[in-house]
Amino acid sequence: PNEPPMVFHLLPFFGSTIIYGMDPPTFFRKNRAKYGDVFTFILLGKKTTVAVGPAGNDFILNGKLKDVNAEEIYTVLTTPVFGRDVVYDCPNAKLMEQKKFMKIALTTEAFRSYVPIISGEVRDYIKRSPAFKGQSGIVDIPKKMAEITIFTASHALQGQAIRKKFDESLAALYHDLDMGFTPVNFILHWAPLPWNQKRDHAQSTVAKVYMDTIKERRANRDDDHELDMMKHLMSSTYKNGTPVPDHEIAHMMIALLMAGQHSSSSTSSWIMLRLAQNPQIVEELYQEQVKALGADLPPLQYEDLAKLPLNQAIIKETLRLHAPIHSIMRAVKSPMPVPGTKYVIPTSHTLLAAPGVSASDPNFFPNPEVWDPHRWEANSPNAPIMHGEEDEEKIDYGYGLVSKGGKSPYLPFGAGRHRCIGEQFANLQLQTITAEIVRAFKLSNVDGGNTIIGTDYASLFSRPLEPANIRWERRN
The CB-of-327 to ligand HEM minimum distance in angstroms stands at 9
Please tell me the distance from the alpha carbon of residue 197 to that of residue 350, in angstroms, as a whole number: 29
Work out whether 272 is an interface residue with ligand HEM (CB under 6 A): no
Q: How far is the CB of 117 from ligand HEM (least distance, A)?
A: 14
Binds ligand HEM (CB under 6 A): choice among 53, 142, 422, 464: 422
Contact between residue 140 and residue 467 where contact means Cβ atoms under 8 Å apart: yes
Q: Residue 76: beta bridge partners?
A: none
How many residues are present in the chain?
A: 476
175-194 residues in contact with ligand HEM (CB under 6 A) are none
For residue 162, give every residue at least 6 positions away whose Cβ sits within 8 Å of its Cβ, in sequence order, or none: 154, 170, 209, 210, 213, 230, 253
Report the residue from 101, 412, 431, 462 that binds ligand HEM according to the rule CB under 6 A: 412
Q: At what angle do helices 246-277 and 194-219 cross, to 10 degrees?
A: 110
- Show the site string, 12-51: x = touches ligand HEM by CB under 6 A, - = not: ----------------------------------------
- Max distance between CA atoms of the chain, in angstroms, equals 69
Instruction: Single out the segment in contact with ligand HEM by CB under 6 A; choices: 110-118, 138-146, 205-213, 413-421.
Output: 413-421
Q: Which stretch binds ligand HEM (CB under 6 A): 131-139, 289-297, 300-308, 406-414?
A: 406-414
Q: What span, in angstroms and rounded, lies between the C-alpha atoms of 149 and 160?
A: 15
Among 114, 413, 441, 472, binds ligand HEM (CB under 6 A): 413
Contact (CB, 8 A) for 142 and 464: yes
Q: By CB under 6 A, name the one of 7, 206, 256, 285 that touches ligand HEM.
A: 256
Least gap, CB of 314 to ligand HEM (angstroms): 12
- 3-state SS, residue 432: helix
Residues facing 43 on adjacent strands = 15, 46
Percent helix, strand and coil across the chain, each rounded to 5? 50, 10, 40
Question: Which amino acid, 231?
Answer: K
Q: Are 94 and 248 in contact (CB under 8 A)?
A: no
User: Which of 158, 267, 278, 462: binder of ligand HEM (CB under 6 A)?
Assistant: 267
Per-residue binding letters, 336-365, with ligand HEM (x by CB under 6 A): ------------------------------
Out of 206, 313, 314, 426, point to the residue binding ligand HEM (CB under 6 A).
Answer: 426
Name which of 330 and 471 has its Cβ closer to ligand HEM.
330
**Secondary structure letter of residue 404 according to DSSP:** -
Minimum distance from CB of 475 to ligand HEM (Å)?
27
Answer for the pair 17, 42: CB distance below 8 angstroms, yes or no: yes
Contact window for ligand HEM (CB under 6 A) among 212-220, 379-387, 409-417, 442-450: 409-417
- Give dist(CA 206, CA 183) in Å, integer: 22
Residue 181 CB neighbour total at 10 angstroms: 18
Binding string, residues 125-164; x marks residues near ligand HEM by CB under 6 A: ----------------------------------------
Vertex 263: Cα angle to 238 and 68 (nearest 5):
55
Q: What's the closest the beta carbon of residue 100 comes to ligand HEM, in angstroms?
A: 11
Using the rule CB under 6 A, give the single segment among 262-270, 383-391, 401-409, 449-457 that binds ligand HEM.
Answer: 262-270
**Contact with ligand HEM (CB under 6 A): which of 236, 263, 278, 431?**
263
Closest-by-Cβ residue to ligand HEM is 422
Q: Minimum distance between the CB of residue 418 and ligand HEM, rounded to whole angstroms?
A: 3
Distance in angstroms (rounded) separating the CA atoms of residues 90 and 427? 29
Residues touching ligand HEM, count (CB under 6 A)? 24
For residue 389, report the phi and psi dihedrals to the nearest 5 degrees. Answer: -65, -25
Extended strands (E) in 256-369: 328-332, 336-337, 344-345, 350-353
461 CB burial (10 A radius; 0-12, 13-18, 19+): buried
Nearer to ligand HEM, 328 or 470 (CB): 328
Task: Give yes or no for residue 406 binding ligand HEM (CB under 6 A).
Answer: no
Show contacts with ligand HEM in window 64-93 (CB under 6 A). 70
Residues 6+ apart with CB under 8 A from 419: 61, 402, 403, 405, 413
The answer to whether residues 282 and 343 touch, using CB atoms and an 8 Å cutoff, is no
Considering only 4-12, 220-228, 418-426, 464-472, which stretch makes contact with ligand HEM by CB under 6 A?
418-426
Of 124-132, 254-262, 358-366, 402-410: span binding ligand HEM (CB under 6 A): 254-262
Interacting residues with ligand HEM between 284 and 323 (CB under 6 A): 319, 323
Binding site for ligand HEM (CB under 6 A): 70, 95, 99, 256, 259-260, 263-264, 267, 319, 323-325, 328, 412-414, 418-422, 425-426
